[in-house]
Structure 1
């Protein structure tokens, strides 16, 4: 990647990720993610996907290397500016007080309080509409189901980056955004994220466990294979092959084509349970 695209990329340069300062190496990453695309981070449990996501969001320091927006390391960007360019949704988000669903979504507009849009109320409403939670606006978020809370939090981060801000590329980082959702909402959310990436130029990076969701909606995949091995970035169909899934997850897979042409897989346990999983 070079030229204008490189200046807007989310770059992991010589990144080493560890769970703690002196813990074992989880993975190394050398990759440039392009805005306007949906990148799925995939890998087995314990490989370091959530830790990598926290490092990419600037919430924890890398063991080595750096994360940059274009040529600018994240740690050099003022916090207020970074919050207008990057929104993060954690795997588990607890709300300590009895905020309403609408108040939680409104929190996404906090980074813009110094230069608010003329459409602040409409942005919040539109974000809630996009996630199908407008009818929950006055409900206390602690009374909602897990899936409803997840969609409220998704509306919050969407509201945070609802409009381009003129500061450069914007990035939405999501740690397992579909984990609490039913099948219908999983597909609705992933389809919306892909559309937002393509139409708004938003860079979307999401940790996913469902490989078929990644195959259908992601433009590219960052595979974190575990056991300290280097991550690999590539087109979805090039990375998520039957051979890869056998080596990384220890599962057998058979490809099928849906009526719309989308590639999906049927999965079954490996023929030798307990066989060593390695690359």
Structure 2
């Protein structure tokens, strides 16, 4: 599915390799400035590495047109807004038009389902510049989910997300993480996402890649990788994984 080998963009990213298979959710974690967003940009094909390559479905990403990239992967950047003002429904239609999709019942059904799941039905006729940060984030997520919907875009295979829960309250975050898991599981989309909530990573990630100062510190299954020693080293603060009745939880270590 997705294979990246020895990507570098000094000093932001040291040689980094990563693989994501169909239906797999990969979380990139690490402190601010560790290289998560840079890695996502390189995986998206919108920025080129100094060295290394990215393959998607066996094809080199480098050299592909933006249209070709949009057919195979979605990419949600941080804090991105269109250059001009429009209504929410116009924004979603713009996303779908970029895939050259014609209007029809399949398109309408897919839009209705995503709009319902992310609870933005009452915002369709609002201008995007009138939305709160959390509302706009949900609209952007709706666009990203539609772009990689197999019902609309059978060529889609990858979704890249840069901190998708930014600006969302606790209930909205839970919906988003559940939707990401469902998208991967039900449609076979590989998901690679930067994430700051370590407990969400424990619960929802299949694989975690831990970054610090542009380099990979560790990668593997979250419950095995996110040890007390590694977390405390990466975040320069005492953290520990604690067993509870509802499963493991990461928290600040007691000073006692």
- TM-score between both structures, scaled by the size of structure 1: 0.84
In structure 2, relative to structure 1, the CA distance for the partners of 1:128 and 1:114 (3 Å cut) is: closer
1:263 to 216, 226, 248: 248
User: Does structure 1 residue 182 correspond to structure 2 residue 169?
Assistant: yes
C-alpha contact 1:105 1:128 (8 A) present in aligned 2? no
- In structure 1, what is the Cα distance between the partners aligned to 2:255 and 2:28? 23
In structure 2, relative to structure 1, the CA distance for the partners of 1:10 and 1:265 (3 Å cut) is: same
Q: 1:274 matched to which residue of 2?
A: none
C-alpha contact 2:239 2:251 (8 A) present in aligned 1? yes
In structure 2, relative to structure 1, the CA distance for the partners of 1:255 and 1:154 (3 Å cut) is: same
- In structure 1, what is the Cα distance between the partners aligned to 2:43 and 2:8? 11
- In structure 2, what is the Cα distance between the partners aligned to 1:52 and 1:269? 33
Superposition CA RMSD, Å: 2.1
SS in 2 for 1:224: strand
- Paired residues for 1:154-233 under 5 Å: 154-163=141-150, 165-167=153-155, 170-226=157-213, 228-230=214-216, 232-233=218-219
1:253 to 239, 246, 252: 239
2:68 to 74, 81, 88: 81
Q: 1:41 matched to which residue of 2?
A: 28
SS in 2 for 1:147: helix
In structure 2, relative to structure 1, the CA distance for the partners of 1:179 and 1:269 (3 Å cut) is: farther
Q: CA deviation at 1:202?
A: 0.9
- In structure 2, what is the Cα distance between the partners aligned to 1:270 and 1:80? 53
Query: What stretches of structure 1 move > 6 A for 4+ residues in a row?
Result: none
- TM-score between both structures, scaled by the size of structure 2: 0.91
In structure 2, list runs of 5 or more residues that go unmatched.
none
In structure 1, list runs of 5 or more residues that go unmatched.
1-8, 19-23, 272-279
> What is the count of residue pairs matched by the alignment?
255
1:103 to 85, 90, 99: 90
Q: 2:4 matched to which residue of 1?
A: 12
Query: Could you give the per-residue CA deviations for residues 79-110 of structure 1, whole angstroms, max 9, x where no partner exists?
Result: 32321210111111123322111111222212
SS in 2 for 1:88: strand
